[in-house]
A and B are shown apart, each in its own frame.
Chain A
Amino acid sequence: MNPVELKYNKDHEYARVSGNTVTLGITDHAQESLGDVVFVELPDDGTTVTVGKSYGTVESVKAVSDITASISGKVVEVNTLVLDSPDLLNSDPYGEGWLIKVEADDLSPLETMMTVAEYEAFVAEEEH
């Protein structure tokens, strides 16, 4: 159920590439591990994010979790829907539950990310 066209990192976040624009979000496994998401904090439109650095927070009832940028660049769109309905991260992490869109400075950091097959193997290994 993890989309094949996405790239994944070890923090259970995904990147969807469309031209120079990269959409970031958390994976199905991430939402499953977190449990009911009740709060999301995201950067404002027009701010910049840096690869490997935290750009916001996702909180479930019991846990606070930083979200890390897979790419550097300017935030061109924020999913304001999830600010009011954080449960979208649980119900549709790859669709309506996306987080931000970034105009990438350089797409090369994506090359170090995992393919869906690599990511699923990583998840399976982590669970043991």
Chain B
Amino acid sequence: MVELKRTPLYEEHKGAKAKLIDFGGWEMPVQYAGVIEEHHAVRKKAGLFDTSHMGEIDVRGKDALAYVQMLITNDASILHDGKILYSPMCYPTGGIVDDLLVYRYDLEHFFIVVNASNTDKDYSWMLEQVGDFEVSVDNVSDQYVQLALQGPLAETILQRLTKVDLSKLVYYTFTHGEVDGVPCLISRTGYTGEDGFEIYPSPEFGRQLWQKILEVGATDGVQPIGLGARDTLRFEARLPLYGHELGREITPLEAGIGFFVKFNKVDFIGKDALQAQKEQGVPRKLVGLEMVGRGIARAHYPLQKDGKDIGFVTSGSYSPTLNKNIALGLIPTELAVQGEVIDVLIREKPVQAKIIPTLFYKRGK
């Protein structure tokens, strides 16, 4: 058996009696107090996540912008220093290598955050694309702990530990500053559908910050949150997950993230295939599903209409916020009609589900 990787916060999770699981080769906490309680804590108060398993890749050099532009489907030329961009990164086929956050330090330095289980694959892919570009591409994942503090009280709690004026740090921007005296990259981003921050200190300060944030946020009800609630939170907010809504065989246009494909920018990998798909009509569409019959649609369950397979569930769960069983699924575009009823095949048995808008949850302003 391959030894599981551990983040620098492993002892904290163990000490808190978290339930640990193998997540893409990492021994990670799936829950502490319970998925539903943790889910509500993030929606109503605040939650702290260890997301140190995420990968970080540095791109530096004279051609950094041109290189990044060729890699991703979104338009990095609109970034200014300190600004962050979400983007798919595609294969020439239009299928997705991964989805990324691209941080612009300056025109010659971009910092790219990738999915944990894709880090090695992404890094190899990015190295293969360097060609004649004058850039250096480095996997710096080991140099960072990543903590995510998410929820309506995240700013209040984090502000107690830093002189950086967090009220001025707008969504999808980042800065450098001290948190509890520790130098960090502080970014107003997240994967929960709530306001919040992602903080990147050096690994040796990970435990100190983890403890400190839980300590100063205790009166506000901050809790450590596992990957279980991370998944239900991102799912309700229709934030796609690689291996579910996104994959090698799924294009961004099908996955409902076509907004992040900019055809009017310079050439990028996958542009021709995506352009052709757009012109010919996108064959599949990601739809929301609400169970009509009794059951929970789970990832990979077949979707049927009139007894014929039409697609599959990409993610499905009980939704703690809505108190309903909901799902996301990929089906032919012509069948993606709001209000229509299709079947989810649950243990060989068709169970009815209604097509609904995919954005199940949106936080109030």
Contacts and interface: CB of A to CB of B under 8 A. Distances in A.
B35 A41 contact: no
Given A61-B232, A62-B228, A64-B298, A38 B318 contact: yes
Interface in B21-64: 30-31, 34-37
B317 A39 contact: no
Interface of B is mostly: mixed
Interface in A22-48: 35-36, 38-39, 41
A77 interface: no
A60 B347 CA distance: 16
A11 B347 CA distance: 20
Contact of A35 (B228, B295, B325): B228
Given A61-B228, A61-B318, A39 B31 contact: no
| Of listed B294, B296, B298, residue having the most chain A CB within 10 A | B296
Contacts of B262: none
B19 interface: yes
Given A57-B347, A61-B318, A38 B296 contact: yes
Contact of B19 (A35, A39, A59): A35
A62 B36 contact: no
| Of listed A38, A59, A61, residue having the most chain B CB within 10 A | A61
Contacts of B34: 35-36
Contacts of A83: 294
Contacts of B318: 38-39, 59, 61
Interface residues of B, number: 19
Contacts of A64: 296, 298
Interface in B57-81: none
A41 B295 contact: yes
A62 B296 contact: no
Contacts of B347: 57
| Of listed A35, A39, A62, residue having the most chain B CB within 10 A | A62
A32 to B, nearest CB: 9
Contact of B31 (A35, A41, A59): A35
B296 A59 contact: yes
B317 A41 contact: no
B17 to A, nearest CB: 11
A62 B30 contact: yes
A35 B19 CA distance: 10
Nearest to B36: A36
Interface string A60-91: 11101000000000000000000100000000
A61 B298 CA distance: 10
Contacts of B36: 36, 38, 61
A64 B316 CA distance: 12
A117 B30 CA distance: 30
B295 A39 contact: yes
Nearest to B320: A61
Interface string B221-247: 000000010011000000000000000
B35 A36 contact: yes
Contacts of A41: 294-295
Contacts of B317: 61
Given A35-B228, A57-B347, A61-B228, 10 more contacts: A35-B31, A35-B35, A36-B34, A36-B37, A38-B318, A38-B325, A39-B295, A39-B325, A61-B35, A61-B317
Interface of A: 35-36, 38-39, 41, 57, 59-62, 64, 83
18 contacts: A35-B19, A35-B35, A35-B228, A36-B34, A38-B36, A38-B296, A39-B294, A39-B296, A39-B318, A41-B294, A59-B296, A61-B36, A61-B228, A61-B232, A61-B318, A61-B320, A62-B35, A83-B294
- Would you list the 8 A-B pairs with minimal beta carbon distance, nearest first? A38-B318, A61-B35, A36-B36, A39-B296, A62-B228, A36-B34, A36-B35, A59-B296
